[in-house]
Amino acid sequence: MASSPSVVLSSPPPTSKDGSRFIDSNYLQKQSHVPANFKWPEEDAASAQEELNAPVVDLEGFFNGDVVATENAAKLIRSSCLRHGFFQVTNHRVDADLIQLAYDHVDDFFNLPIEEKIKVQRRPGSPYGYSGAHMDRFSSNLPWKETFSFAFQDGPDKIVADYFKFTISKDFEQTGLVYQKYSEAMHSLSLSIMELLAIGLGVDRMLYREFFEDAVSIMRTNLYPTCQEPNLSLGTGPHCDPNALTILHQDLVGGLDVFVDNKWHKVRPVLGALVINIGDVFAALSNGIYRSCLHRAAVNSHKERRSLVFFMCPRADKVVKPAEELVCKSEGGTRKFPDFTWSNLLEFTQNHYRVNETTLENFTDWFLSADRSNFKPTHFKTSH
C-alpha cells in the first residue's frame, strides 16, 4: 500500500488548490485508453462467459409467517452459502419507489465539481466519505469508479440525514432523508435475512438478528463510468467483502460477476430483486461453514453503471465468534478463526491490507502475530 501514490495518466487530472490530484467519473470517461495504473492482470480482468444460475429466493412466505415457505427459503439460502455465498431475493418489502428515489439522488452528489466532492474525501483509516478510484490508498490496480460511503445505525438519531445536511450542505437535506429511509429499509431486511441464515445453520432463529440489531453499517453509492477498453480494467477487483452481509441493488446495465467452479460468471440483473452476499464476518460467525462470496464489478464501453450497496457490520466492539454447535458441526470440530471484533478487522483492511479473497486468513495471521508491524501475508489468491 502506497502513500501519496503516483498515477500515470494520458492527460493530467484536475488539481486542487494544494496541488493534490484527483480523479472522478467525468475524467475517467474521457480517457481513450486505460492508464497503466488502472490496468488489471489478465487473470483478474478476463471477461465472464457464462451466467450464474443462482437461486432467486421469494421472501413473501417468510414475511407472511408461512412455516413451509420459510423452511424452503432457508434451504435455498443454505445451499448457496455452502457453495459460493451468493443469492438474490424478491418480495423483500423494500418499496420500489424508494429504490428509484435513491437512484434519482445518486447523481446529485457525483455531478458536483471535484473540488466540492473532495471536501468530504475519505480520511485515512476510515471507510466513510468520498473516494475517486481509491487514489488516496493505492497506486496500481485502481478501480474504474467513484464511491460515496456513510455510516448508518438504527435508532432515534437520523445520522444519515444529518450527515448530508450538515457535512455536505443544506442543499442535500432531501438527499439525506432519502438515504436515511433507504438505509433503514436495508437494515430491516438484513435482520430478516439473518433469521433465514440462522435457520439454515440450525442455530437459534434469533441468534444473528439479536447480534446485529445495534449494527453500525456502511451505506455506499457507486458510479462506474464508461471505459473504452473494458477488458483491461475493472470497476472493482476480485474480493470478498470483509463485513457480515451485503445487500446490493444493481441497475439494469449489469456488471456484477461471481467466481464459482474456478471461473467467473455474470450475474444478470433481475428486475425488482436485491442481490445478497455473505462476507468475511459471517463466514467467521459460521466457523467457515458458509462461504464469503468472491466477486468483482466489470465495466463496459457503452453505458455508465450505478449501484446502491448496504454493508451490514457488527457494532465495533462486538466479539465475533461462532456458536458452539457450529464448531462441533465443522470439519475437525475445531475453531477456524479466533475471537475478534469488527474494529480489529476494520483496522486491518483500512490500514494494513487491500481486501481480496484471502483477507480473513491473512487477518487471522496478523491478529495472532506477536509483531504486527512486520507482518507479511502468507495466504495468496488462487489463479483466476
CATH code, domain with 329: 2.60.120.330
The answer to whether 291 is a known catalytic residue is: no
Using a CB cutoff of 8 Å and minimum separation of 24, what contacts does 63-69 make? 63/91, 63/93, 63/192
Report pLDDT for 196. 98
State the residue range of the domain holding 54.
25-333
* pLDDT < 70 regions, the chain: 1-21, 381-384
Report pLDDT for 213. 97
Closest by CA position to 259, among listed 102, 26, 55, 49: 49
The secondary structure element, H or E, covering residue 10 is none
Is 11 within the bounds of a domain?
no
Q: Report the distance separating Cα 4 and Cα 247, nearest Å.
A: 32
Is 50 within the bounds of a domain?
yes
Task: Determine the 3-state secondary structure of 377 from DSSP.
Answer: coil
Counting the structural domains of the chain, the total is 1
Rg of the chain in Å (alpha carbons) = 20
Instruction: Give tens-digit pLDDT for 283-341.
Output: 999 999 999 999 999 999 999 999 999 999 999 999 999 999 999 988 788 999 999 99
Q: Judge contact between 135 and 7, C-beta under 8 A.
A: yes
Is 374 within the bounds of a domain?
no
Instruction: Give tens-digit pLDDT for 9-27.
Output: 445 555 544 445 678 888 8
Is 81 within the bounds of a domain?
yes
Which residues sit opposite 249 in a β-bridge? 308
Q: Report the distance separating Cα 240 and Cα 295, nearest Å.
A: 7
Is 340 within the bounds of a domain?
no
Q: How far apart are the first and last CA of the chain?
A: 22
Positive or negative, the CA dihedral 237, 238, 240, 242 is: negative
| CB atoms inside a 10 Å sphere around CB 61 | 16
Q: Report the distance separating Cα 153 and Cα 316, nearest Å.
A: 12
Is 20 within the bounds of a domain?
no
Is 10 within the bounds of a domain?
no
Report pLDDT for 381. 66
pTM: 0.93
Report pLDDT for 169. 87
Report pLDDT for 3. 41
Residue of 291, 296, 305, 306 marked catalytic: 305
